[in-house]
Amino acid sequence: MKSSSELSTDLPTQIAASIRDAIVSGDLIVDERLPSEAELSLQFDVSRATVREALKRLAAQSLIRTQRGATGGAFVNRISFEAAHAQQITTSILLLSMNDVSFETACEARFTLERACAPLSAKRRNSIHINMMREEIERQGEAGLSDEAFCASDVAFHRALVDGADNPVLSYQLAGAVEAMQPLMNMITFTARSRSAIVTLHRDIADAIEAQDGVGASDGLAALEVETQNLARRVFEQRKRPEPKM
């Protein structure tokens, strides 16, 4: 099990890397039980505390799970799309918020990816996803909806669109791009007029998907991107005026 990357890092990192390699390379397969902490501490010639810290690192990445009791231990986890989704979203949000990524850049990435999805979603459209999109459009039109709820509904609409492509890998890869936009969108105040413009575009997109018109859906998303970018630009400019850059 001791194989690679034994640098000048601390011991738990080395041990975690060693076990991770064994999992990635297939030496340890899903649901296989790792040696007990006591055995591992003998194998790696470190204390149990050190082994535990290594195992916790792996658990944090959902690579293993642990179970107490007589037949317990650490087991190789089957990474679920759900867990991977969640992790990717957290990472994406932090990445954007910590690296001063402009709204423009994030928005471009999101719509570029989503447009790629549109033709597939149109081809494979199915009533479940269409209905979800319609429901969210309905919600977005309700008066008295908070900006935050409007954004959440917007994200749900787009998630339905992406999931409609019926390709789990695609859904997973796009999760970060779609969801990580929400905190950025939340900084925007949506006027009644801007909301109705967005709802109209959403309806166009849903119609195109339902009509299996991939090109139309793509065009609708392109228009939505322009609308969103303009809206953001207006909001940020207006916000700059009262307090003109320190």
Partner DNA sequence: AAACTTTAATTGTCTGACAATACTTTTTCA
Partner DNA sequence: TGAAAAAGTATTGTCAGACAATTAAAGTTT
Contacts with DNA, residue ranges (CB under 7 A) = 10-12, 34, 36-38, 45-50, 52-53, 55, 66-74
**Identity of residue 170:** L
By the 8 A CB rule, do 117 and 220 touch?
no
Question: Minimal distance in Å, beta carbon 147 to its own copies?
Answer: 18
Cα distance between residue 20 and residue 87, in whole Å: 17
What residues from 109 to 138 belong to the interface with its own copies (CB under 8 A)? 109-110, 112-113, 115-117, 120
Enumerate long-range contacts of 174-179, CB under 8 Å, 24 or more apart.
174/113, 174/114, 174/117, 175/85, 175/88, 175/89, 176/88, 176/89, 176/91, 176/92, 177/92, 177/109, 177/110, 177/113, 177/114, 178/110, 178/114, 179/89, 179/92, 179/93, 179/155
Is 207 a binding residue for its own copies by CB under 8 A? The answer is no
Question: Minimal distance in Å, beta carbon 28 to DNA?
Answer: 14
What residues from 44 to 63 belong to the interface with its own copies (CB under 8 A)? 49, 52-54, 56-61, 63
Question: Minimal distance in Å, beta carbon 108 to its own copies?
Answer: 6
Question: Minimal distance in Å, beta carbon 101 to its own copies?
Answer: 6
Residue whose entry in the numeric block shows the structure tokens 């957290």: 90
Instruction: Give the pair of three-digit tokens for residue 211.
Output: 């009509």
Give the binding site for its own copies (CB under 8 A): 12, 16, 20, 23-24, 26, 30, 49, 52-54, 56-61, 63, 78-81, 84, 87-88, 90-99, 101, 105-106, 108-110, 112-113, 115-117, 120, 165, 167-170, 172-174, 176-177
